[in-house]
Amino acid sequence: MIKIRAFRAIDDYDACQKFILGHQKVLENIGVKKVTSSKNEWAENPAAFVIIVESLDGSKIYGGSRVHVSGGTQLLPIEEATGFMDKSIYDIVNEYAYNGTGEICGLWNSREVAGMGIGSVFLTRACVAIAEQIKLDSLFALCAPYTVKMAESVGYHLLDKVGNKGTFYYPKLDLVATAMILEDVATIAKAEPEERAHIETMRQNLNGKRIEILRGKELEIDFQLEIPNLDSWFKSGILKKPLYL
């Protein structure tokens, strides 16, 4: 059994450090020494939310992802990564930010859970699920080729207004990243029906143990997706929605 847990980055320093070390190892394994969106400042960003896959006792971390909200102490990772190549990304993000926007980023899983769908499937679903909890209307993503299909399955589509019809060479010249956007976090109307059902189940049952079946295999997961201390998040004024100003 594993646990998938969500929290605001500034509320759990130790878990953030485990995330950073684990993600760094994965990047190094594919030959990436440093990328702009992997800077560690996010651990102190009051607008960063984290989802980690860990052992039940919290001693091991097997993977993770983050949702960054526009308006924190950093630009969104997609802005940091591509803005110097195409400045139009700043205006596009700002347009969506008024109604609450963010980005799924930093998605990774360790070799120990490779092939189990931890990174590409369960973390993507969980990120979309918690985005509604923190009152976002939209989500950006900068996808590696192997994650584009998963992003599309949960309702993302190509953001072709930037880069070379939505693509950039990132994080290095022989790797291509695709800019994508999910414009209806609450309804995820364009998501595949099966994925929409999984996400809705997560939203309606934020905490609890479930047996998940993926690729013909059963996996018992303890979901802890109810984010602690949300009152302080809404009082922070980071979201640009008038409701929370």
134-178 confidence digits (pLDDT tens): 999 999 999 988 889 999 999 999 999 998 989 987 766 667 899
SS (H, E, C) the chain: CEEEEEEEHHHCHHHHHHHHHHHHHHHHHCCCCCCHHHCHHHHHCCCEEEEEEECCCCCCEEEEEEEEECCCCCCCHHHHHHCCCCCHHHHHHHHHHCCCEEEEEEEEECHHHCCCCHHHHHHHHHHHHHHHHCCCCEEEEEECHHHHHHHHHCCCEECCCCCECCEEECCCCCCEEEEEEECCCCCCCCCCHHHHHHHHHHHHCCEEEEEEEECCEEEEEEEECCCCCHHHHHHCCCCCCHHHC
User: Which residue ranges in the chain fall short of pLDDT 50?
Assistant: 37-38, 242-245
Domain map of the chain by residue range?
2-244
Tally the residues of the chain: 245
pLDDT for res 25: 79
* CATH H-level, domain 2-244: superfamily: Gcn5-related N-acetyltransferase (GNAT) (3.40.630.30)
pLDDT for res 174: 65
pLDDT for res 240: 65
pLDDT for res 243: 37
pLDDT for res 191: 98
pLDDT for res 242: 43
Instruction: Identify the CA nearest to 3 among candidates 67, 65, 58, 66.
Output: 58
pLDDT for res 245: 32
pLDDT for res 212: 87
